[in-house]
């Protein structure tokens, strides 16, 4: 798992944007800067495109965008228009995600274990002042796991609502995959404070929680498989998701 010889969590090994994705990344950054220059503080890339392992026409383009302040309603609409228009114009990416934060949140002490960790270890700055340089490297801790995924209940309940209301097959498949990935990553909050490892892949997250909680194996493996393909009706998926959310909540309170 991704810890170096000194016990620090490794950062992404960025070696440039894959050729197939260069234009879409450049165009998105250009439009954001051109249309919202007073709002955008900095832009970062993360995920498979940042790590150089993206698959054309299958992988998402994931960007973290730090804003100087809360956006006005008109600015929120512009952000969404840019995202949707670029998504339609560049089918080489299956989806474009904007993960947005406010500068004051990142600079606040309580932002250290969430945004500080995220920018330092998962992101590469594409434009603007690189905030990752404001943070030292982090060692594994439950505080980071909670800061990053402590919202799992709220986030997954939102996915449940969207899955139950959605009538489009392709959207349900996408939502189930996203929910399954969030669920698997959220199991890291069950780590102990003295654990020195740090799972990176979905498979590593699943293996770690199953090793410590063998009783979770059937459900964890179900959702691990669901990260890549749907294997049951949305009703069955939601039922199992609700059950494992309750289980994680219960176990996390024992930590």
Q: Is residue 5 part of a domain?
A: no
Q: Is residue 1 part of a domain?
A: no
Q: Is residue 91 part of a domain?
A: yes
pTM of the model: 0.92
Q: Is residue 10 part of a domain?
A: no
Q: Is residue 4 part of a domain?
A: no
Share of residues in the chain with pLDDT > 70 (%):
99
- What SS3 state is found at 228? coil
Q: Is residue 130 part of a domain?
A: yes
Query: What's residue 170's pLDDT?
Result: 72
pLDDT average, residue stretch 99-124: 96
Query: What's residue 127's pLDDT?
Result: 97
Q: Is the pLDDT confidence value at 255 over 90? A: no
Query: What's residue 209's pLDDT?
Result: 98
pLDDT average, residue stretch 93-99: 97
Q: Which of 8-22, 116-130, 154-168 has the lowest mean pLDDT?
A: 154-168
Number of domains making up the chain: 2
- Considering the domain architecture, whether residues 197 and 172 belong to the same structural domain is answered as yes
- Considering the domain architecture, whether residues 83 and 173 belong to the same structural domain is answered as no
94 lies in which domain range? 19-134
Domain termination residue (choose one: 110, 134, 158): 134
Q: Is the pLDDT confidence value at 1 over 60? A: no
CATH number at residue 68: 3.30.460.10
- Considering the domain architecture, whether residues 112 and 186 belong to the same structural domain is answered as no
pLDDT tens, position by position, 120-139: 999 999 999 999 999 999 99
Domain termination residue (choose one: 109, 134, 159): 134
Q: Identify the band that residue 169 occupies on the pLDDT scale cut at 50, 70 and 90.
A: confident
CA distances from 165 to 168, 183, 243 (A): 9, 20, 19
pLDDT tens, position by position, 50-73: 999 999 999 999 999 999 999 999
Q: Is residue 140 part of a domain?
A: no
Quote the mean pLDDT of the chain.
95
Q: Is the pLDDT confidence value at 24 over 60? A: yes
pLDDT average, residue stretch 33-56: 97
Q: Is residue 27 part of a domain?
A: yes
- Considering the domain architecture, whether residues 39 and 126 belong to the same structural domain is answered as yes
- Considering the domain architecture, whether residues 113 and 174 belong to the same structural domain is answered as no
- Considering the domain architecture, whether residues 160 and 124 belong to the same structural domain is answered as no
């Amino acid at each position: 798992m991704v810890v170096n010889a000194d016990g620090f969590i490794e950062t992404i090994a960025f070696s440039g944007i894959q050729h197939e994705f260069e234009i879409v990344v450049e165009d998105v950054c250009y439009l954001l800067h051109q249309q919202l220059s007073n709002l955008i503080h900095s832009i970062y890339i993360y995920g498979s495109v940042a790590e150089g392992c993206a698959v054309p026409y299958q992988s998402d383009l994931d960007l973290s965008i730090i804003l100087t302040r809360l956006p006005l309603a008109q600015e929120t609409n512009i952000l969404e228009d840019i995202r949707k228009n670029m998504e339609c114009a560049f089918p080489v990416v299956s989806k474009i995600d904007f993960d947005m934060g406010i500068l004051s949140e990142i600079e606040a002490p309580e932002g250290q274990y969430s945004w500080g960790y995220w920018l330092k270890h998962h992101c590469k700055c594409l434009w603007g002042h690189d905030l990752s340089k404001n943070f030292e490297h982090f060692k594994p801790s439950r505080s980071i796991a909670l800061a990053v995924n402590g919202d799992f209940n709220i986030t997954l309940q939102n996915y449940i609502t969207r899955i139950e209301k959605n009538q489009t097959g392709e959207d349900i498949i996408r939502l189930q995959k996203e929910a399954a990935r969030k669920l698997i990553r959220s199991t890291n909050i069950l780590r102990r404070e003295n654990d020195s490892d740090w799972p990176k892949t979905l498979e590593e997250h699943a293996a770690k929680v199953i090793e410590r909680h063998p009783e979770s194996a059937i459900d964890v493996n179900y959702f691990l498989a669901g990260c890549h393909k749907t294997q049951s009706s949305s009703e069955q998926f939601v039922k199992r998701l609700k059950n494992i959310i309750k289980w994680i909540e219960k176990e996390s309170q024992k930590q």
